[in-house]
Structure 1
Amino acid sequence: MEKLTVKAYATKHKLSIFNVVKMTKSGQVPTETVVENGKDVVYILLDDTVEKEVQKSILKEENKEPYSLRKENARLKKEIEELKKEIAQLKKRV
């Protein structure tokens, strides 16, 4: 079994440290606490079966991202057009 710190585990799975800590507290991943230099350090124990379950539970945001980016891009273009019209009106007043 391999041991990883919370930070190393988070970077390996591209998760936030907060989410990894939540997973350790809820018991989704097996952990081991070791005292190093007077501090408690939490190590996550890597196991093939647990890793497969974690991979299934991680949501893939890649599929949703392009759709939301297109939508956001369209909204911003519309806002730019409105601002251009407003600028044109203000220039006519001056």
Structure 2
Amino acid sequence: MQANRRDGVIVKTAKSEEDRKEAAQACSVGLEVSLPMIVDGMDDAVERAYQGWPDRIYIVDLKGNVWYRSAPGPAGFKPAEAELALRNLLKG
């Protein structure tokens, strides 16, 4: 089981796409996220396609276009910059 016990987050390791969807739904409700969440398949194809070493923040539209890519993180993360990119995407 994956856990962040300090924050009371415990998620069983997914054995199916349904498990992943249930975990995403629980996160969405718990974090009060109103945006649609996309869940990677069990083959982790999206993770492999967009992963960065070190981590990066990506904002991808429904057509698969990358609207924002952060600098390598976590030092390169600029939340205000990512928020602006997301707001611009949502404006159309």
TM-score by length of 2: 0.24
| Structure with greater proportional helix content | 1
| Structure with greater proportional strand content | 1
Structure with bigger RCO (C-alpha 8 Å, 6+ apart): 1
TM-score by length of 1: 0.23
